Chain A
Amino acid sequence: MIEVDGVFRRYPDGREALRGVDLLIEAGEMLFLGGPSGAGKSTLLRLIAGIDLPSRGRVRLNGQDLSRLRAPAREMLRRNIGLVFQDHRLLMDRSVRENAALPLRIQGLSASDVDRRVEAALDRVGLANRGADMPMALSGGERQRLCIARALVGRPALIVADEPTGNLDQEYGEAILGLFRSFNLAGVTLVIATHDERLVRQLGGRHVHLDAGRVVSDAAVRS
Chain B
Amino acid sequence: MMGTLQQQGYALRQAVRQLLSAPLAHLLTILVIGLSLALPVVLYRVVSDLGALARTQAGPPQLTVFLALNASETVIERARTALQARTDLASVEYIAPAAALAEIQRSTHLDDVLAGLDSNPLPGAFVVRPRDGEPAALAALQKALKLLPGVELVQLDAEWARRVYALGQLTERGILLLAGVLATVVLTVVVNTLRLQVLAARAEVEVCKLLGASNAFVRRPFVYFGILQVLLGALLAMGLAELAVMAVNQACADWLDPLGLVLRLQAPNPVEWAVLLGGALVMGWLAGAFTVTLFLRDWQRH
| A137 proximal to B (CB < 8 A) | no
Within 8 A of B (CB), among A48-103: 51, 71-72, 75-81, 83, 85, 89-91, 93, 102-103
Chain A residues with CB below 8 A from B270, complex form: none
| A111 proximal to B (CB < 8 A) | yes
Also in contact, A108 and B300, with CB within 8 A (given A78-B211, A79-B211): no
| A110 proximal to B (CB < 8 A) | yes
Compute how far the CA of A81 lies from the CA of B6 in the bound complex, rounded to whole angstroms.
Answer: 21
Q: B212 is contacted by which of A89, A106, A109, A111 (Cβ under 8 Å)?
A: A106
Given known contacts A72-B215, A80-B212, what 5 new A-B pairs fall within 8 Å (CB)?
A89-B206, A89-B210, A105-B7, A106-B211, A108-B4
Residue of A nearest to B211 (CB): A103
| B204 proximal to A (CB < 8 A) | yes
- Asked if A79 and B212 make an inter-chain contact with CB atoms under 8 angstroms apart, the answer reads yes
- Chain A: interface residue total (CB-CB under 8 A): 26
| B160 proximal to A (CB < 8 A) | no
Also in contact, A89 and B207, with CB within 8 A (given A75-B214, A78-B212): yes
Compute how far the CA of A109 lies from the CA of B7 in the bound complex, rounded to whole angstroms.
Answer: 8
Chain A residues with CB below 8 A from B214, complex form: 72, 75, 106
Chain A residues with CB below 8 A from B10, complex form: 105
Q: CB-CB contacts of B267-288 with A at 8 A, as 1s and 0s?
A: 0000000000000000000000
Closest 3 CB pairs of A and B: A108-B3, A78-B212, A79-B212
Q: B6 is contacted by which of A75, A76, A90, A109 (Cβ under 8 Å)?
A: A109
| B177 proximal to A (CB < 8 A) | no
Listed by A's residue number, 20 A-B pairs whose Cβ atoms lie within 8 Å are A72-B214, A72-B215, A75-B214, A78-B212, A80-B212, A81-B212, A91-B203, A91-B204, A93-B21, A105-B10, A106-B208, A106-B211, A106-B213, A106-B217, A107-B3, A108-B2, A108-B3, A108-B4, A110-B6, A150-B211
Also in contact, A103 and B7, with CB within 8 A (given A71-B300, A91-B204, A110-B2): no
- Asked if A75 and B213 make an inter-chain contact with CB atoms under 8 angstroms apart, the answer reads yes
